[in-house]
């Protein structure tokens, strides 16, 4: 039985998270195809940073050379983050409130139309404390070797570099401990799909 920890006026929130290379986007797509509205935090960030996006003025104030003619030069921004250790925190202070505002509009809309369950697809769900507004948290997980291989293949980098990227994130073991449910993706796709279907049967029962 799924525990409903929060009260959102009849709306229930499923938090979805997992480290890079874990297959979170694949699971989010399965949930969306099953009819659950999904708020995609990564897609929201991309929209905020797109040409003319709402985040560009604040980013330009922090890194003037990164924004020219309402266009974000991600290479310039990336190099600035590497060169200035404290810059990433400053950028997060810019982005997080904008993402939360978009999330709140999403939740308000679905509360208003009487949606039963929505999904918050947020990579930093635990790190930002967003899990506290969720009724249930779903963590997507795979063995470390598979995770590193996926990232290396996707980004075209050595596995050693992929492991460095993984090391910057909250450990998968910690996320699994904080989860209400874990979906294993280090298996064949049909098996992941079966796990999601089984979870949804319980969620909607």
Neighbours of 180 (CB within 10 A): 16
Q: Which secondary-structure segment (H or E) carries 149?
A: helix 144-155
Nearest Cα to 106, choosing from 164, 169, 41? Answer: 41
CA dihedral 65→66→67→73, nearest 10 degrees, is 130
CB atoms within 10 A of CB 177: 10
- Binding site: what residues are annotated? 21-26
Feature table: binding site for ATP? 21-26
* 3-state secondary structure (DSSP) of residue 85: coil
């Amino acid at each position: 039985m799924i525990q409903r920890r929060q009260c959102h006026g009849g709306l229930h929130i499923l938090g979805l998270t997992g480290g890079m290379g874990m297959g979170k986007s694949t699971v989010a797509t399965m949930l969306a195809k099953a009819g659950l509205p999904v708020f995609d935090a990564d897609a929201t960030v991309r929209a905020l940073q797109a040409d003319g996006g709402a985040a560009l003025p604040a980013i330009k104030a922090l890194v003037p050379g990164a924004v020219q003619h309402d266009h974000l030069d991600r290479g310039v921004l990336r190099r600035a983050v590497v060169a200035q250790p404290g810059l990433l925190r400053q950028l997060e202070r810019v982005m997080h409130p904008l993402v939360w505002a978009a999330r709140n509009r999403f939740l308000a809309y679905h509360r208003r139309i009487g949606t039963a369950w929505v999904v918050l697809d947020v990579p930093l769900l635990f790190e930002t404390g967003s899990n506290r507004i969720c009724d249930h948290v779903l963590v997507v997980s795979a063995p470390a070797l598979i995770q590193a291989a996926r990232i290396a293949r996707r980004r075209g980098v050595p596995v050693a570099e992929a492991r460095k990227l993984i090391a910057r994130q909250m450990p998968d073991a910690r996320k699994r401990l904080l989860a209400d449910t874990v979906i294993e993706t280090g298996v064949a796709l049909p098996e992941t799909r079966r796990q999601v279907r089984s979870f949804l049967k319980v969620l909607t029962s």
